[in-house]
Amino acid sequence: MTRRALLLLCALALASVTARADSLMTDLSQRLIAITSSFTGSSILVFGAVVPDGPGKRDVVVVLRGPDQSIRVRKKERVFGIWVNNEAQAFEGVPAFYAVASTRPLPEIGAIGHLQRHQIGIADLKLRERGGNGAEEDRPETPDFREALLRLKQRQGLYVGGLTPVTFVGPNLFRAEFQFPSNVPVGSYKAEIYLFSDGDLVGANSSALFVDKTGLERWIYKAAMNYPALYGLVAIAIAVGIGWAAAIIFRKA
């Protein structure tokens, strides 16, 4: 645990003694994850304090998701011995990263309605399909394409299939640590923290988190996104220049 996180946990513990009106207080160990050329992954700590206001079994669930993106899933079929793309389905608003932490397995919390409403858990994650004309459709999700998308995300390490544990440090303080893989997309993320008491949702909180490139990587990424044509021309010019210089050097050698 970082020193900043430890200090904030102590502050939350002191606040929980006096601020009895609040049932849930949370924070993150960091608000920005910087991606550099040596980035191999990172972790973030979500922590907080629960102020009990009565008897009951309490559970804390943390959902880390974002940023939303559009994805087209294609189905390959074998035609005359050659694998070709056949059917395709586009999805909108798909979280690029998704992970859940909980004090207990989600079915044991007994809050099925709340889990579905807030899309807590991969099974309750709603993936909006797009029709051929680009309009969003209300028809049920296509199971084959949905399963393929979830399987692809889990294989990339961007969807965490199992639950990350939420552990209590003492009677009121809790923490949950999430791991980001090296291929985590840049963008805006959100940590959603839910407090359940005997299956009822009694508190909720959220915090923003940003993943962004820094240094030279940030400049190259922004140039490629904002000026793609110019970026392509410069990349071609650099490749031609390197090839020409290498040809001269090896010719003299």
pLDDT digits (tens, 9 = 90+) for 128-140: 887 655 555 545 5
Q: Which residue has the higher pLDDT, 108 or 3?
A: 108
Amino acid at 94: V
Instruction: Note the pLDDT of residue 159.
Output: 94
Q: Which helix (H) or strand (E) holds 117?
A: helix 112-117
Q: How confident is the model at residue 218 (pLDDT cuts 50, 70, 90)?
A: low
Provide CB contacts within 8 A for 97, sequence distance 6+.
Answer: 64, 65, 66, 158, 159, 180, 184, 185, 189
Q: Is the pLDDT of residue 236 over 70?
A: yes
Q: Which residue has the higher pLDDT, 44 or 144?
A: 44
User: Sign (positive/negative) of CA torsion 71, 209, 180, 177?
Assistant: negative
CA 188 – CA 178 distance, rounded (Å): 16
CA 166 – CA 195 distance, rounded (Å): 12
Orientation of helix 228-252 relative to helix 215-226, angle to 10°: 120
What's the Cα-to-Cα distance from 195 to each of 20, 114, 204, rounded to whole Å? Answer: 15, 11, 6
Instruction: Note the pLDDT of residue 84.
Output: 66
What's the Cα-to-Cα distance from 33 to each of 36, 41, 94, 213, rounded to whole Å? Answer: 10, 9, 21, 8
Residue 48, SS3 per DSSP: strand
* pLDDT per position as a tens digit, 33-64: 888 777 888 999 999 998 876 667 889 999 99
Amino acid at 116: Q
Any idea what the Cα angle at residue 197 is, between residues 95 and 171, rounded to 5°? Answer: 100
What's the Cα-to-Cα distance from 9 to each of 12, 45, 133, 174, 219, rounded to whole Å? Answer: 5, 11, 51, 9, 36
CA 167 – CA 176 distance, rounded (Å): 7
